[in-house]
Homo-oligomer: A and B are copies of this chain.
Amino acid sequence: MYRNDGFRELERQECLRLLAKVPVGRIVHTRQALPAVLPVNFCLDADGAVLLRTAAGSELVRAVDGTVVAFEADEVDAATHSGWSVVVTGSATVVTDPAEHERLVRTGPRSWVPSPREVFIRVAPELVTGRELVGGRSMYGLDLSS
Task: Enumerate chain A interface residues (CB-CB to B < 8 A).
Answer: 2-3, 5, 23-24, 26-30, 34-41, 52-55, 57-60, 68-70, 72, 74, 76, 78, 81, 83, 85, 87, 89, 111-116, 127, 136-146
Contacts and interface: CB of A to CB of B under 8 A. Distances in A.
Residue of A59, A60, A139, A140 with highest tally of chain B CB at under 10 A? A140
Contact of A72 (B37, B114, B139): B37
Given A40-B139, A40-B140, 13 more contacts: A35-B69, A36-B87, A40-B143, A41-B139, A41-B140, A54-B143, A57-B145, A57-B146, A58-B146, A112-B141, A113-B141, A114-B138, A116-B146
Given A70-B34, A89-B35, A115-B144, A59 B137 contact: no
A-B interface, 4 closest residue pairs, ranked by CB to CB distance from nearest? A112-B139, A113-B138, A38-B143, A23-B78
A34 B68 contact: yes
Given A28-B37, A76-B24, A81-B112, A55 B145 contact: yes
Contacts of A34: 68, 70, 89, 127
